Amino acid sequence: MSIWNKLKGELIDIIEWLDPTNDTMVYRFERFNNEIKNGAKLTVRESQMAVFVDQGQIADVFTPGMYTLNTENLPILATIKGWKYGFESPFKSEIYFINTKNFTDRRWGTKSPIILNDDRYGMLEVRAFGTYAMRVADGGKFLKEIVGTDGNFTVDEVDEQLRSITVTRFTDAIGESAIPVERLAGNVNELSEFSHEALKPEFAEYGIELTKFLVENVSMPEEIKKEIFELSRLDRIDLDKLTKMKAAKAIEKAAENEGAAGASMGMGMGMFMGTQMGQNLNQSQQQANTPAPAPPPIPGTAPVWVAINGQQSGPFDQAGLKALIANGQLSQSTLVWKEGLSAWVAASGLDETKNLFAPTPPPLPNS
């Protein structure tokens, strides 16, 4: 083996990156004057990718594995010139290692409250916060859109920009989800899924995959929350019982107070409650003692007055009229009257009485 071959073997370039941190997303491999020898060994480990940049252009992207860098697997660098010292020529290029692991537990939250216009409660403000997880899916796009020429790019540098996107799209997602405002806090899973789908395209524009998005809490001002709670109870409780319960609690609290003021307040509340209970009891007794109103007469059966022995008698209902017919006191020629008539008429001419008489057969025809 010649000294040149031995020296050449010892000078084989090894290109790799062992990440000593937990937050580095992009690391630029450093070489003096960016000279990387043709035939260098490139090692890309799991959860990494390597992006080759030559003269400002992305030449290739390497996934996990071991590679020998030469003109055969780097076609864009095929015009390498010879080197006067006998080695294959080095080429000036940059290699960026990109961490593709999942960066978890990234925090997001609304710095300013989100203003919503609810049909029932009007304008109100809500706040929200949670976590998300993301990873680099397209190394070339991420390098071009986010990193630029930064040689040591950490996740904290991209967090602020991603949080701004997250809050903006989350605001739209709340309005589009059609979840009632009083149910936002209880439907964080549905809201998380809806927001995740809305945010994924936004992250993809930067070469990032949003792997998880969680809404941990949605809050609103205490006065709005109390109002919603009160209104939600109206359909579920007896307002009369609620009033009595609150009054009883007020009496109990007043009785616990020391001094004349507390005693007088308790007495006053006791008298008020006694009066209210007395009124309620009187109303209940009056309702129980009031006779039920008589039903109106059946249509077509109005009470009828009958002229008996020159005297008006009645009024009679249908049963009474039938009894008069049976006693011989009411015949078809007897005068009768009911409300609405201007004069007495024969019983045979009034609807209420004429149908009560048994029909008589017609005379036999002359034989």
pLDDT in tens, 40-85: 888 999 999 998 887 777 878 889 999 887 655 554 444 333 333 3
Is CATH 3.40.50 the right assignment for the domain spanning 304-354?
no
Higher-pLDDT residue of 87, 138: 138
Worst-scoring range by mean pLDDT, 32-36, 64-68, 79-83, 95-99? 79-83
Asked if domains 103-220 and 304-354 share a fold, the reply is no
Cα 47 to the center of its chain, rounded Å: 37
Higher-pLDDT residue of 298, 211: 211
Judged by phi (left if over 0) then psi (alpha if -120 to 50, else beta), residue 163 lies in: alpha
Worst-scoring range by mean pLDDT, 156-160, 169-173, 228-232? 228-232
Range 78-97 average pLDDT: 53
Burial class (CB in 10 A: 0-12, 13-18, 19+), 109: middle
Q: Return the pLDDT at 286.
A: 63
| pLDDT at residue 279 greater than cutoff 70 | no
**What element of type H or E holds 234?**
helix 222-234
Q: Return the pLDDT at 44.
A: 93
**d(C-alpha 63, C-alpha 42), whole Å:** 11
Bridge partners (DSSP) of residue 50 are 62, 97
| pLDDT at residue 211 greater than cutoff 90 | yes
The CATH classification number of 103-220 equals 3.30.479.30
| Buried/exposed 48-59: b ≥16 CB within 10 Å, e otherwise | bbbbbbbeeebb
Shortest CA distance to 131 belongs to which of 100, 153, 159?
Answer: 159
Angle, alpha carbons 80-83-85 (nearest 5°): 160
Find out whether 40 and 16 touch, Cβ atoms under 8 Å: no
Residue 23 DSSP class: S
Percent of the chain with pLDDT over 90: 12
Q: Mapping DSSP to helix (H, G, I), strand (E, B) and coil, where does residue 293 land?
A: coil
Q: pLDDT band at 98, cuts 50/70/90?
A: very high
The two structure tokens encoding residue 187? 């439907």
For the chain, domain boundaries:
3-99, 103-220, 304-354
Chain length of the chain: 367
**What element of type H or E holds 87?**
none
Residue 38 DSSP class: T
The two structure tokens encoding residue 157? 């540098």
